Structures are given as C-alpha cells and as structure tokens.
Structure 1
C-alpha cells in the first residue's frame, strides 16, 4: 500500500505516525507546505504548494490513498485524491476544528468529501458535522517513560529540595500564556518554583518532565497538547487549562487537574506536589504509537476495501445495463436510458 501524506509541518507525533504505518507495510511519501518567510509561512507558500501536490499524483506516481494531516492542507488533499481517483482520509489536529471559524468551515467542507475522518480527541466531535473514527495520537513510550526524580534532576541540574512546576514551552509564545502560569504558581499554597524549557533536544525532554513535580499548561489554545500525553507516559501529574484534548487525555489520571479556573489549577498543583507520581501510563487510552499504528493501518484497509466494493458494484451495474441494452436490441428496440 502506498499513501501520500500531506501536512503543514511534520511534528514528532506525525513522524511517529508515519514510522508506525511503514512498520506495518504502508509506504508513505510526505509533502509539507514550503516555508519561504523568515518568520513563518506566507500566503504564496500555500499557492506554490498546490502545483507540487498535483505534480506528485499526476507524474506517474501510483498511490492507493491520500491522507491530509491538519485541516489547512485538506483542500489540497481533496484535489489530489480526485486527480488520482483514490480514497481520501482527513485527520484534524485540534486548532483546525476548534480555532478560527473560517478554518473550521474549511475543514468541515473538506471532510464531507473524505472517505474517512479521524479525530485524536472525542472533544473535537462537537465541531464536526458527520461521522469520524477516534484514533488518539500515540507517544513513544520507550522514550517517554518513568525515570526516578533524583536521577532526572541530576541529569538536568536542578536541586532536589524544591517543588517544580514545569512550563513546557518558550515563555515568549503569547498563546501559551506564561503570565498565567506565574499567577497560578503564586496562588498555590506550596512554595514552588516555575521552570520552563525551550530549544531542548527531543531525546532530553523526558528527563525534564521526570525532574518536575507537575507539568503546568496554561495555553489559551492548543492543537493537542501532546505534552500532556508525554507527561502522562512518564507518570508525571498534569495541571492544564481545558484546551485541545487535555481533558480527554488526562481527565481521569490521578493527581492531575484540567480546569479554566486559576484557583482550581493552583489547588491542582498543591495536590500534585503532595501526591507523588500519577498513574497516567496505565490510564491514558491508546497511549502507545503501536496502538495508533494498528488503528490507522486497519482504517486504511477498510477504506480501500469499501472503495473496491463500490467499484465492483458499479461494474456490476454497468454490466447489467449493457446486457439489458443488448437484449433490447435483439428484440429490435432501442436500449433504455
């Protein structure tokens, strides 16, 4: 099976998705939106993306399906799937359905043309008109694993005696709301230190998570956030605003809190500081990349089987019409319309 994967920017969880599919015999080719602007993409990047996508499916490349990963690339996937006459799968990441209204409308319109729609969180379903398949994003549970706190703190150079709330983003990103994180920590009863990370090698991130007493997410909006699942895989408590799939992922995890109330978040930090590690690794549904890969590969098979059944049914209908026409001609009449 060959799948054309379209996305804006590959992220670690997307790369893991592709690796999981390829481990199950799905050959994937990825086309991401070009980036020419110094501070991000500019509108012409999206204009330039379409010819490249159409060339990929029109230049003799044989794909069995097209998979749009994020709503913003869904229109390009619709065009590619129609040109190649193959099934279309659309995965929404979060902000594409739960962000700006224009982006949600664009995604919903494209979803109506898809053979299958995937949501990583059931909380996104209210923003979608139609059926979907629930496939939560997986986490590399070999990388994100419980590590003794003292070992992790020695690795990252933090002292043993302080309570640490980890803000897992660059504080300068306004949508992550670092000021709110500082306010929440100040409201906690415990004497706590707010630390942040940015620019850390991905392989080192689990050490920072395990060195913390709690992960603190105060984002205004999120397309995940994957950090809550990664922390859960480390059995680190999560205290988060109700964004993306946070409630869906860690709502039932011990010593974790999801709320939009600052006092509740501060109380959640106190509970995390006094409660020890969480049970996230055991509780969070569909946490592993392997589970995600099995679900996606199974969905691909079902989509292709349905398309094959539809085409077989169409050929049978055409054969019946042709046979009826021949019988009519033998009787001397004209074939029916």
Structure 2
C-alpha cells in the first residue's frame, strides 16, 4: 500500500530532512511539504544565512494545513516539536511527531511541547536518552546519515583537494564559529591548550556534499556544543573513520561508546587530554563498522513501521 504523507517541517531544505525524505520516497512514500521557514536552498545546504519564521509565516503554514485537510493524505508528520501545534490543526488523519530534542529541554517551550505531544498518535525520538523528556509512549528512530557520501577518503587526497597543508596537525570544528550553542570559544580554548602546534579549522558555507572532504582531511573532529539533538556531525565523522572528541550532548555517548580513538568528555581539561591523545597516536577511528546501523535505509524502514502503526496496518 502506498502511503501519502503531509510533512510539516521547520525547513524543508535542511540536509538531514532532505535525506529522510529521499529514504522514504525510495520506499514508495509520497510526501508533500509545508514549512513556515523562509530559508533558501543555499542556506539549507550549508550557506551562512539563517532561516526566519515570523507570525505571518506561521499563519500561512496554518492556512496551508487547513487547505490540505480535504486532500488525499494518509497521515501528517510534524518534524520538530517547535512546530508541534501546527500538526494539531489537522483533525481528520493520524498525526506523527518527531521530537528533535532541544524543544523539550528549553524551559520556555518544555511544558507546551509536553502537553501537545500527548495529543499525537505516534511520537518519535532520535535517541533513548530523550525518552524521559517526552511523556507517553515513544518510538526510538535514530537519525540516519548518507553512508555513501560520508565514507573514508585518504587524508592526503582530501587535503590536496581542499588546499590544506599535508603535514599540519588540523582539528575541525564542524560549524560556523558564530553559532553560540556550538561553543566555538571552548573549542578554541581546548586547541590553544594543546602542547603541540595545532590548527583549528571551522566549517562555514560549505556545500553538504563537500563536508566529507573536510572531515577526512582533519586529524580529528572537535564538538564542544552546549546542547544538541544529535549532533549528526558525530555520526558523519565517525562513518568517515575520523576520530571525534566531543562534549556529552545528544546521542554522542551512544554513538561513540564503541568507536575506537573517539571520546565523550565532561570538562575542558578532559577534552584537551583526549584530543592530545588522538593527535599523538595519529590513528583513524573505526566508526565505519556501524555504517549499516546508521544508514538512511534503516531509518526509512523504521519510520515506515511507525507510519504503519499509526494507520493500524
């Protein structure tokens, strides 16, 4: 049976969301998108801009959902609890919510999202660590990554392609430095504390399909975020067999616990110590062994199972 989905999302151009849709469409799911965001394709695919959502944008999204009530959809899937209220407008079909994480940790949104999530037929979380934060029964569907795109590339080849020096110690902070929640200040302090000369590179305005080159060109990926739903970059780097040193946010602990030469840390001093170890040893990680577990295909199958459950199939 073909399933037709009305998908409500903060930004339909986000690479992760695009990958999710492709994995479902490959399994025969038909998707129509509604988003209140003004974000452009260039911003969604790695540009420097940010999306914007005002009252008028939400009003337009409400109108679109109401207009779509009479159309031939089997269910509504709301991606991100920040817009969970939009899904509740639709009263004639099953509704599925994917909670990304931050919307249930933000004190100003937590109560509202906990109340609204109870009204959904199915709620999905990306990590077992989120189960206590979301009331009621939930399905755990880990975020998948494009394992064909994020794969090991010889470091020398990657550095030559992007113009990095072949002999430098290079650590990648995989975000624009101005994104406050990513905590570039801590990353910079950690690298400055190392005993060996090390260059800290940042990632800004890079198309999504070139990100694996920057990861593979690095000696390590450093994640110092204050809070995360994922972060997806941890899985992406690990799938390239690039060592990751990270703060304990999102699903980093569950992703990295069985990956060699990668560490989840509780303090700045621990981040510095573990990063120093990674650079001294000079080995790659072995995260690629989890490629099938982290694949988009597996995520698509698990989402499809949740859809069928909501439809009582």
Name the TM-score, length of structure 1 as normaliser: 0.84
Q: Any gaps of 5 or more consecutive residues in structure 1?
A: 307-337
Tell me which residue corresponds to 1:19: 22
Aligned mates of 2:36, 2:284 — CA distance in 1: 40
Structure 1 segment 171-186 matched on structure 2, within 5 A: 171-186=177-192
In the alignment, which residue of structure 2 is the partner of 1:260?
Answer: 266
Q: 1:39 to 1:289 in 2, by over 3 A?
A: closer
**Runs (5+) with no aligned partner, structure 2:** 40-48
1:119 to 1:286, Cα distance in 2 relative to 1, 3 A: farther
Equivalent residue number for residue 45 of structure 1: 57
Aligned equivalents of 2:51, 2:298: Cα separation in 1: 36
Task: State the SS of the aligned residue for 1:4.
Answer: strand
Mapped pair 1:65 → 2:68: no
Structure 1 counterpart of 2:301: 294
Give the Cα separation in 1 of the matches to 2:304 and 2:51: 36
Mean Cα deviation higher: 268-277 or 67-76: 268-277
The answer to whether the Cα contact below 8 Å between 2:239 and 2:290 also exists between their aligned partners in 1 is: no
TM-score by length of 2: 0.91
SS state of the match for residue 305, structure 1?
A: coil
Q: 1:171, CA displacement in angstroms?
A: 1.1
Question: In structure 2, how many angstroms separate the alpha carbons of the residues matched to 1:42 and 1:302?
Answer: 34
More helix by share: 1
Q: C-alpha displacement at 1:86, in angstroms?
A: 1.3
| Conserved 8 A contact 1:232-1:281 | yes
Q: Deviations over 1:135-161 (max 9, x none)?
A: 111110111100011111111111111
8 Å CA contact retained: 1:70, 1:93: yes
For the aligned residue pairs, the C-alpha RMSD in angstroms reads: 1.9
Q: How many residues align?
A: 300
Q: In the TM superposition, what is the alpha-carbon distance from 1:265 to its structure 2 partner? A: 0.6
Residues 38, 53 of structure 2: 8 Å contact kept: yes
